[in-house]
Structure 1
Amino acid sequence: MTASLRRSLCAIAALLGIPAWAEPPAYRTQGQCDGLPAITSLQVAPEFCLALAASNLGRPRGVLALGPNRLLVTDMGNWNPGRGRLLELNREPGKPFKVTVLLKGLDRPHGLRKDSAGRIMLAETHRISLVELNPAKLSPFITELPAQGRHPLKSFVVNAAGELFVNVGSPSDHCEAFDGVEAGTDKGCPQTGGKAPWAAVWKYTPKNATAWEGRPLAWGLRNSVGLAIHPETGELWQAENSRDTLAGDQYDKGSPPDELNRVEAGRHHGWPHCTGNDVLDKSYGAKSCQDFTAPARLIPAHAAPLGMLFYKNAGPAKWQGSLVMAWHGYQPSGHRLMAWRFDDNKHQPAGEALPLIDGWDALKGKHPMGAPTDVDQDEQGRLWITEDRNGDLLLLAPRTGK
Structure 2
Amino acid sequence: MTPRLRPVFATFAALVLCATGTPGVAAPRVAYAAPTGTCDGYPRLDIGMAKGFCAGLVIGPTAADRTRPMRLPRSLLQLDDGSWLVTDLGSWDGANGAIFRLRTAPGGVPALTRVLDGLHMPHAIARGPDGKVYVGEMSRIFRFDPDAVDARASIEPVVTGLPDNRLHDNRHPLSKFVFAPDGALLVNVGAPSDQCLRADGTPPGRTCPETDGDEHAASIRRYALQSPGQWSRDYTVHARGLRNSVALAVHASGTVLQGENSYDFTTRWFPFDEINVITGGRHYGWPYCADVAAPTPGWKAARAMDCTSNAHTPPALLLPPHSAPLDMLWYDGAMFPALRGRLLMTWHGYRSVGGRIVSYATDARGVPVPDRNARYPLYGASSRAYGAAPAANAVVMTPGWNLAAGRRPQGSPVGLAVAKDGAIWTADDRAGLVIRIAVDRP
Normalising by structure 2, report the TM-score. 0.79
The 5-angstrom pairing of residues 214-363 of structure 1 reads 214-231=235-252, 233-245=253-265, 251-281=266-296, 282-291=300-309, 292-343=312-363, 345=364, 347-350=366-369, 351=371, 352-363=393-404
> 1:56-113: CA deviations, max 9, x gaps?
2111112112223211111111111211111110125531211111111100111111
In structure 2, do the counterparts of structure 1 residues 305 and 346 end up closer, same or farther at CA, with 3 Å as the change threshold? closer
The 5-angstrom pairing of residues 1-400 of structure 1 reads 7-8=20-21, 26-39=32-45, 41-55=46-60, 56=68, 57-133=70-146, 134=148, 135-137=150-152, 138-148=155-165, 149=168, 150=170, 151-177=172-198, 184-194=203-213, 196-208=215-227, 209-212=229-232, 213-231=234-252, 233-245=253-265, 251-281=266-296, 282-291=300-309, 292-343=312-363, 345=364, 347-350=366-369, 351=371, 352-399=393-440
The count of corresponding residues between Structure 1 and Structure 2 is 376
CA-based RMSD: 2.5
Q: Is the 8 A contact 1:146 1:152 kept in 2?
A: yes
Following superposition, the deviation at residue 177 of structure 1 comes to 5.0
Q: Is the 8 A contact 1:189 1:284 kept in 2?
A: no
Following superposition, the deviation at residue 289 of structure 1 comes to 1.3
Tell me the residue number matched to 1:17: none
> 1:127-177: CA deviations, max 9, x gaps?
000021233222111000011332111111123543221110000000135
The separation in 2 between residues aligned to 1:3 and 1:289, in whole angstroms, is 43
Instruction: Read off the aligned partner of 2:432 and give its amino acid letter.
Output: G
The separation in 2 between residues aligned to 1:155 and 1:115, in whole angstroms, is 14
The separation in 2 between residues aligned to 1:157 and 1:396, in whole angstroms, is 24
Structure 2: where are the runs of 5+ without partners?
A: 1-14, 25-29, 61-67, 372-392
The separation in 1 between residues aligned to 2:279 and 2:182, in whole angstroms, is 17
Q: Is the 8 A contact 1:81 1:107 kept in 2?
A: yes
Q: Secondary structure at the residue paired with 2:308?
A: helix
Following superposition, the deviation at residue 270 of structure 1 comes to 0.4
Bigger mean CA deviation after superposition, 303-312 or 287-296:
287-296
Bigger mean CA deviation after superposition, 265-274 or 359-368:
359-368
Instruction: Read off the aligned partner of 2:225 and give its amino acid letter.
Output: P
Q: Is the 8 A contact 1:28 1:367 kept in 2?
A: no
The separation in 2 between residues aligned to 1:63 and 1:159, in whole angstroms, is 20
Q: Secondary structure at the residue paired with 1:384?
A: strand
> 1:185-205: CA deviations, max 9, x gaps?
341011002455100111222
In structure 2, do the counterparts of structure 1 residues 71 and 255 end up closer, same or farther at CA, with 3 Å as the change threshold? same
In structure 2, do the counterparts of structure 1 residues 268 and 365 end up closer, same or farther at CA, with 3 Å as the change threshold? same
Bigger mean CA deviation after superposition, 280-289 or 234-243:
280-289
Instruction: Read off the aligned partner of 1:120 and give its amino acid letter.
Output: V
The separation in 1 between residues aligned to 2:114 and 2:325, in whole angstroms, is 28
Q: Is the 8 A contact 1:36 1:51 kept in 2?
A: yes
Bigger mean CA deviation after superposition, 115-124 or 260-269:
115-124
Q: Secondary structure at the residue paired with 1:357?
A: coil
Normalising by structure 1, report the TM-score. 0.87
Q: Secondary structure at the residue paired with 1:192?
A: helix
Following superposition, the deviation at residue 43 of structure 1 comes to 2.3
Instruction: Read off the aligned partner of 1:266 and give its amino acid letter.
Output: G
In structure 2, do the counterparts of structure 1 residues 295 and 9 end up closer, same or farther at CA, with 3 Å as the change threshold? closer
Report runs of 4+ in structure 1 exceeding 4 Å deviation.
2-11
Tell me the residue number matched to 1:21: none
The separation in 2 between residues aligned to 1:305 and 1:211, in whole angstroms, is 28
The separation in 2 between residues aligned to 1:236 and 1:96, in whole angstroms, is 38
In structure 2, do the counterparts of structure 1 residues 367 and 103 end up closer, same or farther at CA, with 3 Å as the change threshold? same
The separation in 2 between residues aligned to 1:230 and 1:117, in whole angstroms, is 19
In structure 2, do the counterparts of structure 1 residues 114 and 85 end up closer, same or farther at CA, with 3 Å as the change threshold? same
Structure 1: where are the runs of 5+ without partners?
A: 12-23, 246-250
Q: Secondary structure at the residue paired with 2:164?
A: coil
Following superposition, the deviation at residue 32 of structure 1 comes to 1.1
